[in-house]
Amino acid sequence: MYIEKIKSPADLKGLDIEALNIVADETRRAVLNRVSKHGGHVGPNLGFVEATVALHYVFNAPVDKFVFDVSHQCYPHKVLTGRAAGFLGDVDDMNAISGYSSPSECPEYDNFEVGHTSTSVSLATGLQKARDVKGTHENIIAVIGDGSLSGGEAFEGLDEASELGTGIIIVVNDNEMSIAENHGGIYKNLRALRESNGACEHNWFKAWGFEYTYLEEGNDIAKLIDVFRSVKDTDRPTVVHIHTEKGHGYAPAVQNKEAWHWGLPFNLDDGSRPVRNADGSMPDVVPAEDYAVLFSDWMLREMKLDPTLIAVTAGTPAAGGFTAAKRKEAGSQHIDMGIAEEQAVAMISGMAKGGLHPVWTVYSTFIQRTYDQIAQDLCINANPAVINVVGGGVRSMNDITHICLFDIPMLCSIPGLVYLAPTTCEEYFAMLRWAIKQEKTPVALRVPTGEVVHTTEQVDAEYACEPQYKVAHRGSKVAVVAAGSFYQKGESVVGLLAEKGIDATLINPRYLNDVDAATLDALKPDHQLVVTLEDGCKDGGFGERIAAYYGTSDMKVLVCGVKKGLYDRFDVEQLLSDNRLLDAQIVEDALAALGE
């Protein structure tokens, strides 16, 4: 195999077109081998194989600098920069390779840790400016595609690249898709450019001052090489717009592009996907329910009764369970503005101001992009929009660019936002219904992660905007305040304390953004220790707020959560153990705090 011998892009230079096509075929098979066994981004990487081979053939990395947007298209780049073992080897070899651009893994060829969208052009302009100041002459190449052009930072990066006016090459990988279908006015111009073979009178890139080249055959290595040679060493801001096929070379990924954007391991022969755990192992019990499905089904039923109820997504409709069929059923009551989270927040604020009831569903890791909009556009205006935060906590995405541990500290630092943490399915939908109906304040809900838990207990149908904790069991000496997805852990801890002779109080706080002073004060006469449990970063989080409330009182507080850090591809059980979050560890620490 060629790719087993390719240790750097320099090894491509002496090959002819026939050999380069073989390299592309081997690279595609290597990518498929990895994603079928390990999981990862399938369609975007398969569609960018030929372009990657051509880029590395024409340009001279690592002197010439590549920046990949989102890293959805960086797998072929990794194969050709000495990391083929992570695609051809065993699972341990694959685990050693990140699914994203990573200088900690390969500093020579990966310039940035990149996992969130619309950033490549902005990052590349920094390299562009550094080169210009130093007086060197390397090529700076930004790759952007897969819906990333709809993000605001992409617009800002293009604006600055044009303003700098020096050489930068922006490869627009146009596969006609985002994660799902494209949304946004810019994609209308991309379609017009495709249909006119780049000759459309209205050219968005030329209007911004870019030199522009279009290639229809974006999966043809020979033609790609010609195009890249024509722009190499340019001294002008230049866009190379290539039309590629998402999933190219693998029929299932071509036939259903949305489903094959990313996925868990699958059967390479037929594309079938048995239900598996995130590490590729088979689960002991196949989940019977899923919050995304339950949410979308509920919303569709409610939409028929309330035409003002609007489901909103920023390029990730699957987060809320809105499949293509469900999006069609929802019609205009489902809005996808593309990968543009800041736009989503401002838009739901405006919709709420206009009398609609918007619910924006967003993964925890992506809400980090919207701090200013939530604070300024939404909360200062006190518009009663709803944010549905999914995937928060340790049992979610775990790449360093996608960890979902920071939504509680972030959202709870914003005045005027109510952040609710349901503990069961019934409590979640009761909170969701209340949040939609109330007209006083913005509300976010942290959808429980993991298995869907039900309760037969009566769940309050109404919630005041002021925090009021629910005391599930009243004991003495120790109180366990367990929030959201960690409530069941709290039940287990209380059970273990009972075996030690301590009848502990169990509290469901429900509200993450503030403390219930009355409930906390009521613990003082007969409790010595309060244990807080939260599924996320404890630094600046929910438990520290309770600890600060007790302050100079005699009450001891044991704050249990994950220590602030940038964790990469962590093992969940190991992370819990390292942070003293296993049930038995929490009990040990509670007893130690009591001096027992």
Asked, for residue 277, whether it belongs to a domain, the answer is: no
Residues 116 and 203 in one domain: yes
Position 465 confidence tier, pLDDT thresholds 50, 70, 90: confident
How far apart, in Å, are the Cα atoms of 43 and each of 164, 174, 178, 224, 356?
34, 13, 11, 19, 36
In whole angstroms, what is the distance from residue 427 CA to residue 552 CA? Answer: 34
Pick the last residue of a domain from 247, 263, 279. Answer: 263
- How much is the average pLDDT of 405-431? 97
What phi, psi does 47 have (nearest 5°)?
A: -75, -15
pLDDT per residue as tens digits for the range 565-579: 999 999 999 999 999
Asked, for residue 495, whether it belongs to a domain, the answer is: yes
- How much is the average pLDDT of 292-301? 97
> What pLDDT is stored for residue 277 in this prediction?
55
> What pLDDT is stored for residue 284 in this prediction?
56
Share of the chain above pLDDT 90, in %: 85
Nearest to 262 by CA among 424, 146, 183, 104: 146
Nearest to 505 by CA among 550, 483, 549, 472: 472
Six-digit token string for 1: 């195999």
- How many folded domains does the chain comprise? 3
Residues 226 and 305 in one domain: no
Can you tell me whether residue 482 is helix, strand or coil? strand
> What pLDDT is stored for residue 490 in this prediction?
98
527-537, strands of its sheet edge to edge? 470-473, 505-508, 477-482, 527-537, 556-562
Which string of b and e fits 218-239 if b means at least 16 CB within 10 Å? Answer: bbbbebbbebbeebeeeeebbb
Residues 300 and 185 in one domain: no
Residue 563: other Cβ atoms inside 10 A: 13
**Domain carrying residue 390:** 291-446
> What pLDDT is stored for residue 460 in this prediction?
79
Six-digit token string for 319: 């987060």
Pairing of strands 357-363, 309-313: parallel
Pairing of strands 556-562, 527-537: parallel
In whole angstroms, what is the distance from residue 557 CA to residue 554 CA? Answer: 10
> What pLDDT is stored for residue 285 in this prediction?
57
Nearest to 487 by CA among 464, 500, 467, 471: 471
Residues 397 and 479 in one domain: no
Residues 245 and 156 in one domain: yes
What phi, psi does 404 have (nearest 5°)?
A: -115, 50
pLDDT per residue as tens digits for the range 133-163: 999 999 999 999 888 998 899 999 999 999 9
Which string of b and e fits 248-260 if b means at least 16 CB within 10 Å? Answer: bbbebbbeebbbb
Residue 61: other Cβ atoms inside 10 A: 21
Pick the last residue of a domain from 446, 462, 496. Answer: 446
Residues 303 and 374 in one domain: yes
- How much is the average pLDDT of 117-129? 95
> What pLDDT is stored for residue 319 in this prediction?
94
Asked, for residue 211, whether it belongs to a domain, the answer is: yes
Contact by Cβ (8 Å): 547, 515: no
pLDDT per residue as tens digits for the range 497-522: 999 999 999 999 999 999 999 999 99
Residues 19 and 110 in one domain: yes
> What pLDDT is stored for residue 146 in this prediction?
83
Asked, for residue 459, whether it belongs to a domain, the answer is: no
pLDDT per residue as tens digits for the range 30-49: 999 999 998 999 999 999 99
> What pLDDT is stored for residue 147 in this prediction?
85
Residues 245 and 369 in one domain: no
The set of residues, in sequence order, having a beta carbon less than 8 Å from that of 1 and lying 6+ positions away, is 26
Residues 216 and 319 in one domain: no
How far is C-alpha 66 from the geometric centre of its chain's CA atoms? 22
Domain of residue 316, CATH code: 3.40.50.970
Asked, for residue 453, whether it belongs to a domain, the answer is: no
With a cut of 80, say whether residue 276 has pLDDT above it: no
The set of residues, in sequence order, having a beta carbon less than 8 Å from that of 524 and lying 6+ positions away, is 553, 554, 555
Q: What is the pTM of this model?
A: 0.90
With a cut of 60, say whether residue 279 has pLDDT above it: no
Residue 280: other Cβ atoms inside 10 A: 14
With a cut of 90, say whether residue 398 has pLDDT above it: no
| Run of H or E residues at 376 | none
- How much is the average pLDDT of 265-287? 69
pLDDT per residue as tens digits for the range 540-555: 999 999 999 999 999 9
In whole angstroms, what is the distance from residue 219 CA to residue 282 CA? Answer: 36
Asked, for residue 494, whether it belongs to a domain, the answer is: yes
pLDDT per residue as tens digits for the range 335-387: 999 889 999 999 999 999 999 999 999 999 999 999 999 999 999 999 999 99
pLDDT per residue as tens digits for the range 421-452: 999 999 999 999 999 999 999 999 999 998 99
Residues 83 and 116 in one domain: yes
The set of residues, in sequence order, having a beta carbon less than 8 Å from that of 558 and lying 6+ positions away, is 529, 530, 531, 532, 586, 589, 590, 593
In whole angstroms, what is the distance from residue 582 CA to residue 378 CA? Answer: 37
Six-digit token string for 433: 């219904």
Asked, for residue 543, whether it belongs to a domain, the answer is: yes
Q: What is the DSSP string of 525-573?
A: TTEEEEEEEEEEE-TTSHHHHHHHHHTTSS-EEEEEEEPS----S--HH
Residues 421 and 475 in one domain: no
Position 283 confidence tier, pLDDT thresholds 50, 70, 90: low
> What pLDDT is stored for residue 169 in this prediction?
98
Mean of the per-residue pLDDT values for the chain? 94
Asked, for residue 286, whether it belongs to a domain, the answer is: no
Six-digit token string for 346: 């401002």
Domain of residue 589, CATH code: 3.40.50.920
Contact by Cβ (8 Å): 498, 460: no
pLDDT per residue as tens digits for the range 220-245: 999 999 999 999 999 999 999 999 99
- How much is the average pLDDT of 378-397? 97
Residues 347 and 487 in one domain: no
* Strand ranges (E), 280-429: 309-313, 334-336, 357-363, 386-390, 418-420
The set of residues, in sequence order, having a beta carbon less than 8 Å from that of 196 and lying 6+ positions away, is none
Share of the chain above pLDDT 70, in %: 98
The set of residues, in sequence order, having a beta carbon less than 8 Å from that of 370 and lying 6+ positions away, is 341, 342, 344, 345
Can you tell me whether residue 317 is helix, strand or coil? helix
